[in-house]
Each structure stands twice: as structure tokens, then as C-alpha cells.
Amino acid sequence: MIKQYKKSILLAAFVSVFLVDTLIAQTVIDSAIIITKGSFSGIKNIAFGTQPAQQVTGAISTVTGASLEKNFNLNLGNTLFGRLPGVTTTQGGSEPGQGVPNLYVRGINTFGGASNSPLYIIDGFISNGVGSSNTFMQLIPEEIETISVLKDASATALYGARGANGVILVTTKTGKEGALKVGFSSRQGFNQAQSLPKFLDAQNYSILFNEALVNDGQAPRFTQADLDAYRDGTDPVFRPNVNWYDQVLKSTSPVSSYNLNFSGGDKTVRYFGVLNAITSQSLLKKFGDIADESTNSNYTKYNFRTNVDINITKRLAVEFKVAGAIEQTNNPNAYNTGGTFDLLQSLAPNSFPIINPNGTFGGNAQYSNPYANLLATGFFQNNTRTVLSSLKLIQQLDMITPGLNASVAISSNNYFEQGSIKSKNYARFSLTKGPLGDTIYSNPIGQLTTLAGSEQTVDQYRNLIFQGALNYKRTFGKSEVTGLIMFNNDQVTLFGPSSNPSNPTANSTDPYKHNSSAARFTYAYDNKYLAEFSLGYMGSEIFAPGNRYGFFPAGSIGWIASNENFLKKSKQINFLKFRASYGQTGNDIIAPQGLPTRYAFTPTFGGAGYNFGTANNSFAGFGENAIANNNITWEKEQHLNIGLDATFFKNFDISFDYFNRNRKDILVASNRTTPLFLGVNTPNLNLGKSSTQGFDLSLRYSNNNKKDLQFYIEANVSYSKSTIVYNAEVLQLNPGLLNTGLSVGQPIGLVAIGFYTPADIAQRLVDLKSVPGVLTEVIKAGDIKYLDFGGPNGTPDGIIDGNDRRAIGNPSIPRLIGGLNAGLTFKGFDLNLIFNASFGNTSYLGGTVFHAFQNNGQVGPIALGRWTPATAATADYPRLSAINNQNNYQFSSFWQRDGSFVKLRSAELGYTFPAKVTNRLKLNSTRFFLNGTNLFSIDNIEFGDPESLGGYPVMRTITVGFKIQF
Amino acid sequence: MKKIKFFAPILICFIVLGSCKKNFLDKPPGVDLTEESVFKTRVALDQFIATTYRYSMHSVFRYGVQGTIPFSGVNNTDCIQPSTTISDEGDASDANFVNNNRWNEGVIQPATIVNHEDFRYFIRWIAMRQINLILKRINEVPDADAAYKKQVIAEVKFLRSMNYFEMLKRYGGMPIITQIFEPGVTINAPRNTFEECVNFALKDVNEALPDLPASHPAALAGRTTAMAAHALKAKILLFAASPQYNTANPIISMPNSSENKLICYGNFDANRWKLAIDAFKAALDYAAANGYSIIDIPANRNPNELNNGTVGPLGNYRESWENPNNPEIILKYQHTREAGGITNIGSPPVTYINASCFGSFWSGMTMPLNFISKYENRVTGNAENWTGGGTDLIAKYNSLDPRFKQSVTYTNAYHTARDPIAQIFNGGKDYVNCRGGVWIRKSIPRSATNASFVLNDILFRVNELFLYYAEALNEFNTAPPIEAYSAVNVIRARSAMPNFPSGLSKDQFRQKLRNEIAIELLNEDHRFWDVKRWLIAEEEGVMKGSMTGLLINRVGTTPNFTFTWQPYVFETRTFNKNMYLHPLPLNEVLKGNLQQNPGW
């Protein structure tokens, strides 16, 4: 279904008014779209250094910060959709300050408890945090020069045991020699939900609920008079019809951002600085305007950065960077809106009135009142502070030998998340109608309290990193040689949810430490033949002494065929490079970070005792809980990459990579294969294996020949398929229960084969097992029928249970992703579009949004196609049931849908004033723009967005703004 | 000079970085408990011993200790009842959800054996590992004296022996594990033969005997004694001599008949009964010399059960299981009794054996007529006739062996203060699901309430020594010797039952003794194993065929009610020959180390 953006016309009117207003005060522009000549020129960022793009032999995708500015979002992750071939970005909700996407490089090639996140490196130093506390997510495009994704072993080997999931390398902007340049931009706009779940109103709810009761063999609850009253709204007290979403959410919420940046410098000092502010309200209504003790839900983020480069002497340079992000989130009722949306998705429209006739809050014993929750339970404020700082000294050592330099660096990153709560409770009352039609109030449910405050440390981490390096670069005739030897030492202390949420103990704040060295040697002959060898040597303290250090070698070769004489003069082929790489990398986050899995090489003891004495008194115990695995080690991945880069007809670029990743030593449970007469909980062993194959392809066509019209179009497609090769799982006679051979993340559930017919039910009365069914529920006609694959012994047993599960559908992470990025400039106008597509992933319709009346929940329009005796032939939803049905709502293929989609992630239309206009105003450039994100989605899911079927919705954001430079 | 000045700090940094961090990656000092801490002090060792007992001790009432024990692989509601409801002793009143009933339906499977009977399969191996660890390292404990160390070694050897005995009963020969497996070592431990396992268990218990005390101070009661070792040794030899194992050919052959020695001796040797006789004799002698005896106060042999809602006098038989500390008990599983603990009328394990009509919320256990009819006439000592029904059930009950009324809650009986007169008749509240006609109450004291009490969960007791001694004597000799008569008559006399008639043939004596063993040792996890060891489980009415109950109707008017009774078949049970031995757990067999038992 195509979701039309209905308000666009209205918006256009609004924008034009705004533009006119602004024009009076301001004037315009900067270079609107970067239409470069090709992807294979300039300098690329690689691990701990840079390389001429032509000579890169690894698999690296890059996007510039300037390009990401086109995609306005509250966190950096959400700007990456469709930008980087090989990177899967999965959208969660987009709650301000909470919702961040997950990023995966070339699929997920591990399973179990191991981390599948890429390593984030900011200006050469590792970054920490997960989810919204991830430092990377807090950066803003305006401070970023480029984001490079290092995909193959050759590119990541220097990161040793951390590189196997890919590396996302951020390089921030630095000052350039020249006069002071100041840029200022601002944008104003609004968010709205891209899609919200739909539910039936009170009348339809009641009709279906009656039907469900009858199906369950109970009497209907609602009379015709009730139904009429729901329809007419004549009895809002006893027969309310409340759209709770409308009561709690507004349709749009304002968002704005301001950015000031300046840069410049001379031969001695160069500087870049940025100040940025983003404010966004959430979709919750302004409850703080209604009651003092509540708060408006809003989010603000301030970013700053100062990067200074100083040449102290001719040979000694200093790079000093300090940056930070300060976030503040205010919310009524809770730190986030998860609980509110859970309630909204469950609460029936006729549950109770918002406000009772006597002014008290409505409610019932099971459900609180979402309106009152936000109005009368106080507020939660969340502050986070992130500080990134680094100092680097670079000493040229050309007095020893030309081309040699040495550097040392220190970096310290801190994150602190502080919660501040003032909360209270309220009383709610349920109503019953008295014999005389009077209103009888229940005893209060909940109790009115006064605001009580509390301060909490929610999360924090800190890291300290030292680096030293020797760099060598020299050209001997036709040979270019570079060398790098470096040393890195870091320690990261986690404290809080990412470490141990509830119970920090003496061991939980032990820092995670790494010691590593790395070396790289590159050789290029005549700019035709390229060779590179990298070696990482890394030690990590989470392994046993003797098993801490490992080598991670990788090599790559390249051939720039277009520099050979036979192609040099070709007009068709302007650039052609073949490259191949092979190497080993590792992943040392083999289990969730935190105490229980902290030191797998130490055994654990504890446990209960026994009772002795004539009165059976208990005696303390002390037993062996699990033995240690001294041999525990990191995951190892062999990564083969074969690629080519080419430019045809000057304007057509193509880049293709095939990859094959084989990972081993994945940590899996071992008691699956170890005989139990071992007599102890066995440690997990490095036995698992997985493999991923796929390709990344990007094509780009740009036309910058004509002066007035310039355009480019860039498309990328990435495919990856991950398979569990071995996971030492428990042996089964029933092969369908085995995970080996399936995709990583493959859902396993029952296979739905339609609905039981009345004939099926009659046959079941004769012989229960002749028509297979569950034993946990009395099956009726119209219930979902499942395929009886097998019992514990692998043969069908007439019983539907866990033994009948099979691989159903596809993982939720798409196999095939694509992006389409197009831009054009015409005279002063520019247009930029970013599409993002995802294919082959499965969405699951679960929870109260789709499962009618479950957990006393409500019912959505999906249930209108329910099975009834009359509609048996056309029904696409099981018979309704008012109880928690143990048959219909099991995890099964019935509730799976194709989650593929194509989305317009971002569109920007801009106008840059001609230079002669701006020059008169002493401005370098002035540009106005209109920007929209998540404008539409083409997908197969009728009742929502495949990426966010419930919870805080994905935001569609429309902004207008300007950018001036002087 | 200037160059050097700026270069110097860089050099220094390198040196600092390179040198200071020699142990940079070492784990900081922590607060971990390790194997080393176990053997540092006697206090820690004693705690380790407590946990070892927790994992080693078997119990009659298998119930939810599983949840606190690693990888038991069992749900809290599996294995909730004693083996009573698997044999003709009893029947689970809520048959559908009590896993024991799967035995009666004949649907035991290798995949679920752990859930259906042997929930200690995994736990037992934990116990073995801890025992082996103590044996390996106990000498390192600095503050334990030599005598104590010897005693602990003897205790854990007893526990190891007992665990092998429990495995022999279920599976036949199993791997003999005496080592501590280290990670990374390939484990290849195939099943040992039945004979090797018997010898291993005997070796352990023989080595333990000299170093074990006859008893412990009251505060340490529950730790094992030389008396228990004598009893265990005799029981091992009894099973080894029994028809199921003491034979050339097992009841079903292994697929490869050369492997039959895994599940039986592979030959018959009458002398195995002699070894059992000697062991029982030694055990009884040791008991007499060390204060263990059966309870026999002449006045309490035939207590007058009042049936009027008041607690009657305490019979000898009832005292032997109702009194938590009596000289008849040799070793028991020590259930907790703290407030909020597990043992009261509404908590496990009592709640799994006390019927819901009596204040619990799970299944009770009823006794089928198959077993009721084993109770002889208290005067003649002959079997009672239960065919055809009758008009006065109370009179019928009055004629039975006094142990009947002490063992079950029958119509009009006193159950507990909550239920002083059991309403077991058609329409009575206590007749719901009471398919046998009486509720088994043995092990639930009449004083039981919602307050905690000590439950006697007895593993070894003196009365069984007499009975099994008599069995061994009869089996070894061509006709029952006088010692066999006197042994069994000790047990009958204390419950006012007439002596066995003299001059019984070997077979007659065997039949009568098996009846006596069944009655005397009701609900203490004997019958299920005995009928298999005797190879009679497949006989009609034992573990196979019709199970009969009593239809009870109340007639007359208050206060002169009478109760009519009529037998009816309430269940037909299935027993397949492969069920003489448990299947080995499927997961373990699939790992390729263990040879599955025949027929599974």
C-alpha cells in the first residue's frame, strides 16, 4: 500500500509563506549538492591512516557528512539508510533520545550471545555504548567529514579481535588553511507518525467481543442498547467510546535545529568548531501545560566540537580534539514512552471514561488510565553527557630517514546518564450503574500521593586510550612504499545497564582492557600493481592467561588495469581496478558484556546446602556451579573479498565486491554434546561455525558537463546470506528442530495450514489424534490448524506441540537491501532523494495490536476478516476468542508477513541564491531548503509499517531551513 | 638540541606505554569463590559436604528440589509423586497431569524418562563429581584432623555407592566415573557391566564401613552411618542375587547378546543369595548392638482405631513412620522444615501426595483393591475375599491386618484435625477421584497442619532388613529355614498379626513373604523395584491389567449409616517387558557414549 502524504499540499503552502518571510531578512546559499567527478579519486580513510582512493585494495564504503545533512534526524544512525552498500540499518521506533537503529555490516555472521555490532571508531579511537548511549549515534552530520565502513579483513585486520563485525570509521572535520569561514544554518519543522496502529471503535469492539464470547460458549456481554449507545455516543459515562491514541498523542510535534560552525587557520594553527542544537518534542500532548506536576515531553541535544591542529615546530604537530553531546529528555510518567504505548495498544475504547462525572479519573482494576498516567504521575528527566577528547603529537623523523614520522596520542571518552524523577500516584475509580441509574463509584484503585523525588545513575562508561605509531611513506622511483607500526592500549569501564543493571558488585566495575599492536605494509609499483599486508596482534583481558593474545593477518592485492598501456588511451574505460583480499579477524565480545559472563575462564562456585539434625535444620552449601573453560577464545573469521572498481565513459562508476565470510569458534553451549556424567554445568565452548556469502554492488552515474543542469544517480544493492554451519546443538530425532543449516536468526514456529472445519472437530470427537491439535486448548471450528510434523521421535503423533515447529519465513534482518540516491541541480535549484529498500525479511504480527482480545486487549481492523461459519470460505483471521487462546496465537507462520519495503527516506529541495546576490550581502552563499524524511513506504503490510508495528512510531519529519556562509 | 627536546617526550611515552603494563591484562583481584576455597578451611569443606549431600541423597518423595539444581532438565511439576502410583500400591487421583501415570499407560519414552521417573539422572553425576573432588583433595584441608578426614572419605564413598545402587536398579551397569573431568578432555566412558558396577559399589561401601560412626550427634543427624552402610551393602547384594539380574539371560536381550552383561550377570549363581544372607545378618547384628531396633511395644501392637473424629492411640507400625526420630530409622532424606519451607500440608512434597480434598492442591494417591486385598485377616492370617461386594464396609475393614488402618485414610477414618472423619462414599467430599476406595496416608502424620513438620522420607530402616533377610534365606535354601520364619514373624508380631504357618514350601513362603514385604513397606519406594526384581511386574494386576476400586455407597440414616461396597475396574494398565529396565535418557544416548537398554 502506498501511503500518500496527504498534508504535502498544505505544507507547500506553509513553506512558501515561510520562504517569503525569511527572504526579506536573509539571503542565500552554499554548494547544494556535491557532484564529484567519480568515487575513485581523492583520499580514503582507512584503519589508523589514509590512503589514495586509487590504491585502496580493501572493501570500503564511504559517505560524507555533507551528504548526510540531507537526511535530517535526531541521531546519526537514522541518516545512514540506503547510503552505504554492505551496511544494513534497521529502524526501531524513533522516540527522541531513545530510538536508534541497529547497524550490521555484511549481515550477521554470528549467533548466540556474541555481539554482532560493528566496531565504532571515532578519529582513530574506539567508541563505546550500546543503543542510544552509543557515542556514534550522538554525533551530528555537520561535524563529520566522512564515515567509512571497513568491510573486509584487509581493511579491519588492524583492529584484531574486534574487527570481524566490520568497522565504522568516523573522521571529523578539521580546519583548512584560509580565512575564517562561518556557517550558520537553521531549520524548523515538525514530526508526525508515519503510521499508527488502527483499532476498532467501541461499537465494533463490542460486536466482535460478543461474538468472541459466544464462540467461547459464554453469554454475550453487550446488549443492543449498549451497541446503540456506543454508536450514538449518548452515554459517555457508562458507554464511553474513547480513542485513547487521540487522547494522548497529538498529530504533529515541532522540531528545530540550529548549527553554527567556523573554520580557518594558517600555517601554524588550523581550527574547526561547531555548535549544534536540536530540539524535538515527542508526540505526547503537552501535559505540562495542563498540570504543573507533569511535564511536556521534549528532547534537546547540544553538540559541540573543537578540532585544532597546531604546527609547533616545523616537524612537530599537535592535533587536539574535544567534542561532546549533552542530551536532555523530559517525559511524563516514565523515562520513555514504552509503557504508554503498551497501554494504548491494549486498552479497549469502552473501558472507562477519561474523566468520571465527579471529576476523578476513570480506570479499572487491570488497566490504568493513560491520560491520567501522563497528567498525574509526575515526570522523569534524563540527562546524558558525553565528552570525547584526544590529543595527538606527530613528530616528523625525516632526520632519521625521509618519510618517517612518529606519533603518540591519548584519548579519554566519558558518558554519564543521570535520571531525575519526581513521581506520584493517583487514584482511579471504576463506575457501575446503580439500580436507579445512579453512578456508583468503586473504592479507589491506587492512591493519591504527593510528588516524591529520586536521583539515579542510569548508565555510565569511561575509557582511556593510549596510542603510539611509527609511519613511513616514501617513493623510490616507480615504487611507493608505506609502513605503519602502531601500539594501542585501552581500558573501558562500564557501569550501569550495559554492565550489570541491578546489582553492581565488587567485580562488576573491572575495566575491559585491550593491548594491541598492528603493522601495515603497502607497496605500489607504477601505480599499477598494489600489494598490502596487515597484521594485528591483540590481547584482551577477558581470556585466560596464555590465551590472551592472537595474531590477525590479512593481505590484499590490486591491479589498476586502466594504468596499463593497452587501456591508458581508452575512451570507454577511464578507470579499472581489480582487487582481492583475504585475512583473519576476530570478535572478542563473545558473550553479553556484564558480570555473569565476565570471566569465562574462572569457575563459579556457590549454591544451596542441605539439612541435618533431628529437626532438619538447614546447613549452608557451597558447590560447583560451572567449571571454567581456560581455552575460551575469540571468534575467528576468514574473510575473502574479490572486487572491482571501474569508471566507464567518464561518468559511470561501478564498484562490485563478492565476499565469503567463514566464522568459527563461536561460543555455544557444550552440555549439548558433552555427556552429563561430566557432572557439572559445562562452560560454553568455542565450537560454533557460521558462514556468510554475498555481494555489494554500487553504480553511479553523474553528469556535470552542462553548466545549468547537473545531476547524479547512485544505486547500491547488497546481498548477504548467513548460515549456521555448526552449533553443537542438542541432538534430535526430529530433524526439524535443528538449527544447524538454517539462517542466522531464522524464526522457528508452527506451520499454519488454514482453519479447522466443523468436520475436523467432529472427527476429533471420534478420535482426538486423527486430526492433530494442541492439548492445551479445546479446539473449535475456525481455529488455526497447524501441520503435524512430528513428535519427540520425529514421526507425526497427532499432537501439535513444540515438536511440530519448523523453520518458517525469513529472519527479520533483510537479505537484500538497496539504496537509491539521486541529486540534481538546475540553475539555483537542487533536489536530492534517498530511497531505501529491503527485501526478503519477515515481519511478525504479534501482540495486542494484531491478536484480538488477548490479555484483555482490544481489537484491530485485521480481525474483521475473522472466521465465522458463514465466512468460512473467505476468512483470513481465526475465530474470535475472548480468552487467551492457547492455539491461535502461538508463534506460527499465520502471523508472518513479507516485510519487504521501499521507502523514500529523505527528499530535499533547495534553492541557492546566485553569487551576485549573495556577494552584495557579503555572504559567500545562501541556500534555502525544504526537507522531508520517511515520506512514504511501499510495502505488503496492510496494518502498519513493517519496521515498526507497535510502540513509538517511526517519525515522518518535514523541515524547512536555510544555510548561510560568510 | 631543539629537535631532541621535542622528540624526547615521544620517546618517553613509548617507554612508559611499553613497560608499565606487563600485567595490564590480568584480572583484578576479585571476590570469587573457587575450588581452592573449598579446601582452605574445614568450615568451607563442611559447606561443600552439605551441597554434596543435597545432590547425593535419594528420596522417596521426588519433588521440586529440581529448580535449584543445575541442569536437572526437569520442570517443577515432573516426578512429583513417589513410585507408589506406578505399581499396584497406588493410583494418582489426578491421573492426567501426574507424570507417574504415563507408566500405567505404558508411554514411557527415552526422551522423557528424566521427567517421568529419574529426575536425579543429571543430579547424580553432579554428586559423583563432588564426591570425587572431595576424595581427591580432602587431604589439603589444613584444619581438619585425620579422623575427621577419614570419616568424610567414608561418608562420600557411601554416597557414591548408594548412587551406583540407584543406577543399577534403573539401568543396570553404567559408566564408573572416578575422575574429575577437565575441560578440553575428551570424555569416552562407556557403560561398565552390571557385575563391575556391583563390585564397585560394594568396594566403596566396604571401604566406608570401618570409618563410619554408628550414629551422629543430634545436630548432625542425617549424615550417614555404619548402620546405613550395612543396610546399603545388604540391599546391593539382595538386588544382585535377584532373578532380574542373577541370570544367564536378561528378560529381553540386548541387540548384541554379548552386551547382555551390561544389564545382568550373564550367569546364575545361587551363592549370591548367600552373600546377601551374610550381609543382612551382619546388618541386623550391628543394629542390635548399636541401638537400632524395630518399635515393638506390646500394648501398641493392635491399637483401637476410634473412627469418631478423635485421634486414636499410636500403633507400633504408625509410630515407625509418624515419629520423626525413632530407633527404627537408619537413614532418611532430610526435608527442610523452616517456616515457609517445603513441608506442610499445602506445600511440596506433602501437597503432591495429600489429596486435594484434604487441603492440598495436587493429586492424592488412592490404593486400589489390588493392594487392599493383600491385607490379611487379622485373626486367621488368611487372605480376605473381596469378590462380589458387600453391605458393611466398616466391618470388613475391622477384620483386616491392623496395619491397614494405620496406612490409609478410609471411610470414617481420622485424617487430620482438618478432616477428622473422612467422607469416602458416593456423594462425600473425600470420595472425589478416590478411585481405589481409600487414600494412602502413610507418611502424612495425623498431626499435620499448615505448620511445618518433619516428614519421614526413609531410605533405610530396620524392618526391611528383617524382611529381606527372610527373603534371602528362603531363596538360598530348598525350604525356608527357621531363621526366615523368625525374621518375618518379628515384623508380624509387632503388628499383632499371627505368625507364618510352619511347614510352608519354598514357594508358599515366597508368596506369603512378598505379600508381607508389600504391606509392611508400603509407600516407601520398594514395591516398584521389588516387582521388577522378582520379574512379576507383568503379572495381571501388578503393573499390568485391571486395577480395581471400591464403589462405596452410604445407606441408612444418621447416626446409623452403613456403607455398601462393590468392586469395579477403574483402569487397565499397560506394562511392556522393556519397562523392567529404564530407558537411558535419549539426549545422552544420542551423544554416542551410552548403549541404550533393550527394547527402547
Q: Verify whether the Cβ–Cβ distance B130 to A679 is below 8 Å.
A: yes
Overall average pLDDT of the A632-638 stretch: 94
Residue among B1, B2, B3 with most chain A CBs within 10 A, to mutate: B3
Q: Verify whether the Cβ–Cβ distance A539 to B189 is below 8 Å.
A: no
Considering only CB atoms, which chain A residues are within 8 Å of B17? 408, 466, 468, 487, 489
Locate all alpha helices (DSSP H) within A750-869, ordered by sequence. 758-766, 847-850
Position A10 pLDDT exceeds 60: no
Kindly report the three-state secondary structure assignment for every residue of B235-269: HHHHHHHCCCCCCCCCCCCCCCHHHHHHCCCCCCC
A259, containing H or E segment: strand A253-265
Considering only CB atoms, which chain B residues are within 8 Å of A161? none
Would you call B125 an interface residue with chain A, using a CB distance cutoff of 8 Å? yes
CA distance A160 to chain B (A): 16
Position A777 pLDDT exceeds 60: yes
What percent of chain A is predicted at pLDDT more than 90?
60
Q: What is the pLDDT of residues B304-361, one digit of tens each?
A: 888 888 888 889 999 999 988 899 999 999 876 543 444 567 677 788 888 888 888 7
Q: Verify whether the Cβ–Cβ distance A468 to B13 is below 8 Å.
A: yes
Position A609 pLDDT exceeds 50: yes
A487, containing H or E segment: strand A479-495
Q: Verify whether the Cβ–Cβ distance A628 to B183 is below 8 Å.
A: yes
Residue among B32, B57, B69, B119 with most chain A CBs within 10 A, to mutate: B32
pLDDT band at A552 (very low <50, low <70, confident <90, very high): very high
Q: What share of chain B is helix, strand, coil (3-state, %, to 5)?
A: 45, 10, 50
CA distance B181 to chain A (A): 6
Read off the C-alpha cell for A380.
Answer: 522523569
Find, in chain A, the residue whose alpha carbon is nearest to that of B453: A615
Position A766 pLDDT exceeds 70: yes
Find, in chain A, the residue whose alpha carbon is nearest to that of B191: A677
CA distance A271 to chain B (A): 23
- At A366 the pLDDT is 86
Neighbouring C-alpha atoms within 13 Å toward the C-beta of B320: 30
Q: Verify whether the Cβ–Cβ distance A506 to B31 is below 8 Å.
A: yes
CA distance A560 to chain B (A): 38
Cis peptide bond upstream of B349, omega within 30: yes
Overall average pLDDT of the A246-254 stretch: 93
Overall average pLDDT of the B90-95 stretch: 83
In terms of Cα–Cα distance, which of A458, A383, A460, A382 is closest to A414? A460
Considering only CB atoms, which chain B residues are within 8 Å of A676? 71, 121-122, 125, 588
Q: What is the pLDDT of residues A581-597, one digit of tens each?
A: 999 999 998 887 766 66
Residue, of A40 and A354, whose pLDDT is higher: A354
Q: What is the pLDDT of residues A130-175, one digit of tens each?
A: 888 889 999 999 999 999 999 999 999 999 999 999 999 999 999 9
Considering only CB atoms, which chain A residues are within 8 Å of B109? 792-793
- At B251 the pLDDT is 92
Residue, of A411 and A591, whose pLDDT is higher: A411
Q: What is the pLDDT of residues B362-403, one digit of tens each?
A: 788 999 999 999 999 999 999 999 999 999 999 999 999 999
CA distance A169 to chain B (A): 25
Q: Verify whether the Cβ–Cβ distance B587 to A730 is below 8 Å.
A: yes
Overall average pLDDT of the B185-194 stretch: 87
Overall average pLDDT of the A824-829 stretch: 89
Read off the C-alpha cell for A480.
Answer: 611507493
Position A371 pLDDT exceeds 50: yes
Q: Which of A261-275, A847-861, B196-210 has the lowest average pLDDT? A: A847-861
Overall average pLDDT of the A306-319 stretch: 94
Q: Verify whether the Cβ–Cβ distance A604 to B129 is below 8 Å.
A: no
Position B65 pLDDT exceeds 70: no
In terms of Cα–Cα distance, which of A742, A899, A900, A719 is closest to A815? A719
CA distance B122 to chain A (A): 6
Rounded to whole angstroms, the Cα distance separating A900 from A836 reads: 11
Would you call B116 an interface residue with chain A, using a CB distance cutoff of 8 Å? no
Read off the C-alpha cell for B364.
Answer: 492424592
In terms of Cα–Cα distance, which of A805, A876, A847 is closest to A949? A847
Overall average pLDDT of the A344-353 stretch: 92
Find, in chain A, the residue whose alpha carbon is nearest to that of B57: A610
Overall average pLDDT of the A455-468 stretch: 88
Overall average pLDDT of the A784-794 stretch: 83
Rounded to whole angstroms, the Cα distance separating A308 from A390 reads: 11
CA distances from A679 to A444, A620, A682, B20, B72 (A): 55, 21, 8, 42, 11
pLDDT band at A54 (very low <50, low <70, confident <90, very high): confident
Q: What is the pLDDT of residues B246-270, one digit of tens each?
A: 999 999 999 888 899 999 999 999 9
* Three-class DSSP category at B445: coil
Q: Which of A388-402, A662-676, A919-933 has the lowest average pLDDT? A: A662-676
Q: Which of A395, A617, A680 sits opposite B10 (nearest CB)?
A: A395
CA distance A893 to chain B (A): 27
In angstroms, the first-to-last Cα distance of chain B is 89
Position A749 pLDDT exceeds 80: yes
Q: Verify whether the Cβ–Cβ distance A675 to B177 is below 8 Å.
A: no
The string over A912-948, giving b where at least 16 C-beta atoms fall within 10 Å of a residue's C-beta and e elsewhere, is: bbeeeebeeeebbbbbbbbbbbbbbbebebebbbbbb
Mean of pLDDT over chain A: 88
Q: Verify whether the Cβ–Cβ distance A610 to B334 is below 8 Å.
A: yes
Residue, of A57 and B20, whose pLDDT is higher: A57
Would you call B340 an interface residue with chain A, using a CB distance cutoff of 8 Å? no
- At B123 the pLDDT is 86
Mean of pLDDT over chain B: 88
Q: Which residue type, as a one-letter code, is found at position B204? A: D
Q: Verify whether the Cβ–Cβ distance B2 to A313 is below 8 Å.
A: yes
Q: Verify whether the Cβ–Cβ distance A619 to B46 is below 8 Å.
A: yes
Q: What is the pLDDT of residues A177-220, one digit of tens each?
A: 999 999 999 999 999 998 899 999 999 999 999 999 999 888 89
Strands A269-281 and A298-311 turn out to be antiparallel
Q: What is the pLDDT of residues B400-452, one digit of tens each?
A: 999 999 999 999 999 998 899 999 999 999 998 899 999 999 989 898 887 77
Q: What is the pLDDT of residues A70-111, one digit of tens each?
A: 888 888 999 999 999 999 998 877 888 888 899 999 999 999
- At A746 the pLDDT is 93
Position B67 pLDDT exceeds 60: no
Q: Verify whether the Cβ–Cβ distance B10 to A408 is below 8 Å.
A: yes
Residue among B72, B113, B130, B334 with most chain A CBs within 10 A, to mutate: B334
pLDDT band at A883 (very low <50, low <70, confident <90, very high): confident
Read off the C-alpha cell for A300.
Answer: 534537546
Considering only CB atoms, which chain A residues are within 8 Å of B223? 612
Rounded to whole angstroms, the Cα distance separating B267 from B249 reads: 7
What percent of chain A is predicted at pLDDT more than 70?
93
Q: Which of A540, A614, A732 sits opposite B325 (nearest CB)?
A: A614
